[in-house]
Amino acid sequence: MAVIELRDIRREYRLEGVMVRALRGINFSVETGEFISIMGPSGSGKSTLMNILGCLDKPSGGTYTLDGIETSCSSPDAFAQIRNKKIGFVFQAFNLLPRTQAVENVELPLFYRGKERTSGGGGLGNPLRGRERAVAVLREVGLGDRLTHLPNQLSGGQQQRVAIARAMVNDPAFILADEPTGNLDTEMALEIMSLFQALNNRGKTIIMVTHEPELAAYTKRIITLRDGEILRDQRVAEPRNAPEDLAQWRRDHNPAPQGILLDGGVPPDTGERVPRRAGGG
């Protein structure tokens, strides 16, 4: 079943009197349970496409159907509700509230469910149900023992796991990740890709925007843009195995035993901070 349908998506705008055609008739669909990377050089249109997929912007033409909802004609209020309920965002910069515990950061999207929460109903907007759900997704990403930690008490990889848990808490139609490993060193980047693969193996639909081919190799499908058009849309016959690559990296760089992977291929996180790669990417 297609969770996303893009048909003839175009995005045009004027910049200093010049018409810029950022997207020129984009067509593709995403089935439930896919793990896709979107790639392309600067100016290819991938950021514009990400904004449309994330319901942060509307196309100039064409239709975008998300989980059965045609979003292009939605009112601003409906657009905001779609973002909150249907899309889980993961950003390069984590965007966690600095003085807020991990479990409270994860709960945050539930506070935007409006009347469902204030009515005291039985949904996820109910405070007790919301806390239970936040704890459950933190455990799912391997942070069940870090519920009350503040962001500055967590490693970069752990902070990104909190961000991924926050993206999952509303059980969205898909997770949209924008350069999710850009602020992480190699080991932590492999931890996050291991987590994404584990979540995808459990049925989560994930779209990741990246400029790094080595990260795209962990996904199951790569869509490459150039000049606002799809240059290639190809299936990855044998995606790289992130948990295996992580284990090999640790054997090469840390001879001491590192323990075992968590259930589903999610690696343990020791919380130790490792020097970043040059350039932060």
pLDDT tens digits, one per residue of 137-177:
999 999 999 999 999 999 999 999 999 999 999 999 999 99
Q: How many domains does the chain have?
A: 1
Mean pLDDT over residues 103-107, rounded?
Answer: 96
- If you count them, how many residues does the chain have? 281
**3 state DSSP class of 134:** helix
Q: What is the CATH number of the domain that holds 162?
A: 3.40.50.300
Mean pLDDT over residues 31-50, rounded?
Answer: 96
Which residues form the domain of 129?
Answer: 34-58+71-273
Which distant-in-sequence residues (6+ apart) come within 8 Å of 217 by Cβ? 236, 239, 240
For residue 5, tell me if it sits in a domain.
no
pTM equals 0.85
For residue 149, tell me if it sits in a domain.
yes
For residue 42, tell me if it sits in a domain.
yes
For residue 166, tell me if it sits in a domain.
yes
Residue 269 has pLDDT above 70, yes or no: no
Residue 74 has pLDDT above 60, yes or no: yes
User: 281: pLDDT confidence band, cut at 50, 70 and 90?
Assistant: very low
How many other β-carbons are positioned within 10 Å of the β-carbon of residue 144? 12
For 2, phi and psi rounded to 5 degrees? -80, 125
pLDDT tens digits, one per residue of 107-131:
999 887 654 444 444 555 566 688 9
For residue 3, tell me if it sits in a domain.
no
